[in-house]
Structure 1
Amino acid sequence: MGRKVTVATCSLNQWALDFEGNCERILRSIEEAKAHGAKYRLGPELEICGYGCADHFYESDTLLHSFQVLRNLLESPVTQDIICDVGMPIMHHNVRYNCRVLFLNRKILLIRPKMMMANHGNYREVRWFSPWNKLRQVEEYFLPRMIQEVTGQDTVPFGDCVLSTKDTCIGTEICAELWNPDSPHIQMGRDGVEIFTNSSASHHELRKADQRVNLIKSATTKSGGIYLYANQRGCDGDRVYYDGCAMVAINGDVVAQGAQFSLDDVEVITATLDLEDVRSYRGELCQPQLESEFKPCHRVKVDFSLSGCDDVYLPTHQPIEWHFHTPEEEISLGPACWLWDYLRRSGQAGFLLPLSGGVDSSSTACIVHCMCVLLCRAVEGGNSRVLEDVRRVVGDESYHPQDPKELCARVFTTCYMASENSSEDTRNRARDLANQIGSTHMNINIDMAVKGILGIFSAVSGRWPQFRASGGSRRENLALQNVQARVRMVLAYLFAQLSLWARGRPGGLLVLGSANVDESLTGYFTKYDCSSADINPIGGISKTDLKCFLLHCAKQLQLTALRSILAAPPTAELEPLTDGRVSQTDEADMGMTYSELSVIGRLRKISKCGPFSMFCKLIHTWKDALSPSEVAQKVKRFFRMYSVNRHKMTTVTPSYHAESYSPDDNRFDLRPFLYNASWSWQFRCIDDQVTQMAANRAKH
């Protein structure tokens, strides 16, 4: 009858500038799509070169190699008899565009440039690309000679156009266009486009997946239609993790769902759907076009059908319920997949973590353990590529992981770096957790190194600094804390480089950091201490979420050592003990709790509050617990700490992006790092408001 279509979308773990690997993964996805009977295959945004090329998009090499890959795809027998929709950068009239290239049987059908750029948060697309702002306009694009030799075409349509097959009409959206209030699918649907496609590079953020799913369901609820969503997967060489979630929806219902987190480099989702369901849905909802100046889509006709002649007995996909992960599950999966991508592509042999026995370093350790759990499950499930990568990392071609704990011992080294200010409790907590996850654990005492460095200073200056508890000044106290922290960083890198060598094994280890997003927000860490590392899987996660994650691990992974870690107050253990017990706590040092910091962080970044507007919001949010003057004190203390320590963000360890208020200076949070820390005008406004409020209360 020619009404049922089988379409395919996918999630690919592409890697910036890995043209060979990217091409191979694209071909695998097309091959799998055809094996499931699909006549249309959609891939992620900029999949040929990788989304994260950044300033490499300026280089002509990137454009050249992208066209070379496109030629390989056009020539491959795998791409025959299926419409292939791939993403790559293209320069048209000396302007760079982020494009989709649709081709069939060695002929390019059309090139559709992105019209709405992603240019906030982690994204800087207008730095490299221009938006196509010629609505419903199409121009001729002159193909490079290497492509002309394959296709026999001199020019192809370039612009805002749709593809009209013998049985349906297909229109393209690219990532951010779905999130825009004036999404292209609105006008395309009103003009009879029945299948919408969206190729994305959408990153993971805690509690974000439902927004994406709801947008796609809403897009097809309003006016009907089939919606295909493809997404990048993996780290792509940067701080963000692209989390897949390929899906197919029809008339407001999701009918096919891909994994949000997976170690599979290629995942293809196919669905068979009835075009008459779209037409019936629209027949009741859609009214005749009432706009006097409505401009129809430019249609590129192709002599091809997505449906078969005899498909009456072909079953169609039915609606499904989307499974959303809890934030604790997201932390156990996203950063773990990101770590594995980084490890296998870095050429290193594992990780090293300074394990203090506190919530932060224990969270990092648990994420590595979760990575090992995922790897063992993938190998057990028959994933030969994961097994091949694991064998390469451990340096044993015959190795087969038995269980996560055994694998952890091979790829993960932890070390407790004790000083005279360390307590026996934290040492025991670190040891117990290391035993339960299976890491190779070491105890290191740093006192000799600290005394050696202080001895050098004393020999030059003739003075020996003292802790505050022994009568020293605040400056002496801070310097003595920092030297311990920085010695730990030096030792961490020494052991990362040489610990495998000392055991007779080849390779080095990547040093893991463990500063959470709230500590980064206030700068509550020592610059170039053991928070300075190669990568940090928890640098974008709040302390509150990390505690929930550890509770999840304690229950789901039977890591009972985490309960005592959760019960202990967070402490840096850099000042002398009192009667053998910790006297220094993080929250006392910062003057605010971690839960308060999470609220402040969101107001600063998401709500874009300065000191005064933040104070005005918090006097209502915290009215049951704090007076206006106490709120003012906390706000002013935060902004002083934030501004004094902002310079630390210029050297912060590359961290997994998970939270929408990350202070990462390198990409996400573009603010100055040298401030007037007195905030005199702003703080005076707060003080005036507190005085006025007190006067108003006195009147009443």
Structure 2
Amino acid sequence: MPVGPSTDGFFRIAASTPRIRVADVDANAAAILSCVRHAAAQGAGALVLPELCLTGYTCADLFFDRALLRAAEAALARILDATADVPMFFTVGLPVAAGSALYNCTAACCRGELLGLTAKESLPNYGEFYERRWFAPAPRPEDPLTVEVAGRLAPLASRIVYRCADEGMADLALGVEVCEDLWIAAPPSVDMARAGATVILNSSASSEVIGKAEYRRSLVAGQSARLFCAYAYADAGEGESTTDLVFAGENLIAENGSLLAGTPLFSCEMAIADVDLDRLAAERRRCTTWVEPAASEAGVLDVGFSFSLDADICSAADAEPPAIPGAPRLMYSALDTLRIFPRTPFVPAAREDIAERCETIFGLQAAGLKTRLAHTGTKHAVIGLSGGLDSTLALLVTVRAFDALDLPRAGITAVSMPGFGTTRRTKGNAETLAEALGVSFREVPIGPAVERHFADIGHDPAVQDVTYENSQARERTQILMDIANQVGGFVIGTGDLSELALGWATYNGDHMSMYGVNASVPKTLVRHLVRCAADAFGGQIAQTLLDILDTPVSPELLPPTGAGEIAQRTEDLVGPYELHDFFLYHLLRFGFAPGKIYRMACRAFSGVYDSETVRSWLRVFYRRFFAQQFKRSCLPDGPKVGSVTLSPRGDWRMPSDAAMRLWLAEIDAL
């Protein structure tokens, strides 16, 4: 597996709690080596172990004993010698004497090298913790000590950033902080992340009391969110003294606000997860308030390191396993990562979360429309109601906005405009829904007007081409706009985010409205919104909404089948919306390249679509996304409800004439 771009930027990290014995340095060194070997065998590139794990955190006044200090240094030397063949960055906690001071240190190790000693800055001296009795605060990074430990010279300071120099791993930089340093008002990890650290490792010994676990998890997740980083936390556990405290050994790995992995309390287990360095880098680049000063300005100490990978270790996806024990790939592709990629990234996984998300989205959509109606003094709205999903959602949102303004629902005019492809099913559902919701309903058949238009422009109705289809869409928009003028109202747009991405809209037809309430809602989420509305309404409305959900997505611009069924299915023409929404999310949200999105989709939709199907529709997506930008460059206003939108005024600014060659070439090379 190459270390370059085709690895997709996934880096595996682990957090583990070895079973130790207080002050039994030799036994602890063996337990640490076991953890290192196990993590390496799992393909981890970084491992964090608990605070002072080489001696035990609860040694108390034994930390002053020279025998313990000498034993810890000798044990660290043995660990380094024993791991010279392991290309993994790992930490070992131990006390280090330097001059007249003693420091609580976390040693950063890689392939037999001692890269540095990150000393603890914030020494608690409250409750059962009396660290200031034994340890001195860390030297500042601008004035580090150079110490000889385990027969090796290394810098000793706080806020050390370890930057990987290996090819293809430029986004990997690790910072280490020690336990309490996370809990203070301005943790060292802030400066380290601002200086470029994408992975923060915390060596901790956090005693367990009621309620602390929940707070710890929120703290770790929150720090990873505000720093756009991966955060791995290793906690002391079994083997520490229980004279006054109990240590639960909870290990956590978070990325950008989400907990990726964790271990149960009161266990000595390993948490392991793949973090997405590409994603973290993308998040930082997108955030205009994220500023990375030079390392010297950020107040950190820079240390470079290398995994010293042999060229043949990661040369090909089918390469033989390397000779080095536990040294497989250090960077992973989406095809072999531990990560799970949800098929519908716009939709929460848990059902209760879906209901909450839908309620929030309905509220945002309705609030946007309510504000626009109130600002303009408009008391009427006009919607083209087709009996399909999007227009149904737009009507539901409009009803909610009118209710919030205490406006009569009769001020909403739902217009059915049957054309050459309209089926009895969709027409009937539109009329039934309008009646059940108590809105005004009008039916304006467009057939005669479109046929007259064909005669005017000299188009043969037997030629069912784009002119045949788009003439109907534009006629419908004209009708809606004119009725809006009649009643003094707004035309409410029905098109959704997925259609905008694909350009699946008739320019100056359904593409145009006076306020597009669905503009930032993708098709996969529209379904859930309508289903949640069905659950909320019940009765006849629910029955109609469920039948609409069961109706194939179609513009109904071509005549029905002989049996009166829908003949034109959108997903047969442009591809499955679940795939396109997956592509869209990862393109817009993180700026991932086509190759990475392809491999993620192959993994996510394994057993649903084969790789060639995924590649084929990915090419369609990119081709349409680039070619149809001109339609998005002049969109009506609409409310933003999520982090991914295509508004040309804020979230997505793209030239209408951008060339697509680079992206299609990458897809063709897959």
TM-score after normalising by structure 2: 0.46
Q: Which of structures 1 and 2 has the bigger CA Rg? A: 2
In the superposition, the TM-score normalised over structure 1's length comes to 0.44
- Structure with greater helix share of residues: 1
